[in-house]
Amino acid sequence: MRKRRCTLYCLHEREFSAVVLASAGRACASLTFVARATNDDAAKLLARCRDAIRDLDSAVPIYDVKTLDDRLQETVAQPRFYATMMSFFGALAMILAILGVHGAAAYAAEQRKREMAIRIALGSTGAAVRNLLLRDGVLPVALSAASGILGALAAGQYLSHLIEGAREVSIGPGACATAAAVLLAVAGLAVWLAVTRIASLDPAVALRSE
């Protein structure tokens, strides 16, 4: 009799204590037969294993005969599907965020075209106008990204306490920094293109267009 820590059905389940008893002389509803292959092609031994069990007792039903690799693939199939779907929806959310940030930043810069035209007419340089709009366009995105990262961390810790067996979600700093950098770059590019277009206009033309 031995006591071991083990998992029963899948790799990610919680380990539990189990007592292992010898099956000799005990009535069992079902048994699992495990054969270790010395070569790499374990699939070819499945038929030989079936024949060996039938030779011992032809009345024993044999079912669910698979290699360990096949069982591992079945075990990780559902988590892999969930991971793929989460990656897909994460990428879709990132694309939508990029489009939204680009459109909002470009629209905000375009709405200030009259103001920028007046500044240029009064002697302000294109670089000063560009820096002003870049600061006003990128700063809200930076604050929003920082608050979103903090909110994601807080929500992960809160939800981990609500779901039994859930582990605390660890968000890598590299992923957060990459997402924030992409959004900041998109906002900066949108403002830069809008400012470049405004700076190239004649102030009189820009004011008449308003």
Sequential DSSP letters for 23-36: -TT---S-------
Q: Could you tell me how many residues make up the chain?
A: 210
**60 assigned to some structural domain:** yes
**188 assigned to some structural domain:** yes
Residue 114: pLDDT band (50, 70, 90) is: confident
Same structural domain for residues 147 and 190? yes
Same structural domain for residues 199 and 107? yes
Distance separating alpha carbons of residues 96 and 82, to the nearest angstrom: 21
CB 166 within 8 A of CB 159: yes
Segment 106-128 mean pLDDT: 78
Same structural domain for residues 55 and 101? no
Give the per-residue pLDDT at 105: 80
Give the per-residue pLDDT at 4: 59
Helices (H), 23-112: 46-56, 68-111
Residue 170 has pLDDT above 60, yes or no: no
**70 assigned to some structural domain:** no
Same structural domain for residues 28 and 86? no
Residue 168 has pLDDT above 60, yes or no: no
The highest-confidence range among 39-43, 92-96, 152-156, by mean pLDDT, is 92-96
Two structure tokens written together for 193: 């293109």
Residue 7: pLDDT band (50, 70, 90) is: low
Task: Give me the residues paired with residue 4 across strands.
Answer: 18
Sort residue 64 into left (φ over 0), alpha (ψ -120 to 50) or beta.
Answer: left
Segment 104-116 mean pLDDT: 80
Quick one: what percent of the chain has pLDDT higher than 90?
0
Segment 86-93 mean pLDDT: 86
Count: domains in the chain: 2
Residue 210 has pLDDT above 60, yes or no: no
Same structural domain for residues 83 and 39? no
Q: Which domain holds residue 42?
A: 2-65
Same structural domain for residues 134 and 56? no
**37 assigned to some structural domain:** yes
CB 196 within 8 A of CB 109: no
Two structure tokens written together for 209: 């267009």
Q: Taking the chain, what is the end-to-end CA distance rounded to the nearest angstrom?
A: 89
Helices (H), 112-202: 113-121, 126-162, 173-199
Same structural domain for residues 165 and 136? yes
Same structural domain for residues 133 and 44? no
Quick one: what percent of the chain has pLDDT higher than 70?
73
Full-prediction pTM beyond 0.85? no
Give the per-residue pLDDT at 207: 62
End position of a domain, from candidates 65, 93, 115: 65
Residue 93 has pLDDT above 80, yes or no: yes
Residue 192: pLDDT band (50, 70, 90) is: confident
- Mean pLDDT (the chain) is 76
End position of a domain, from candidates 12, 42, 65: 65
**71 assigned to some structural domain:** no
Residue 25 has pLDDT above 80, yes or no: no
Give the per-residue pLDDT at 16: 65
Tell me how many degrees the CA angle 187-172-13 measures, rounded to the nearest 5: 135
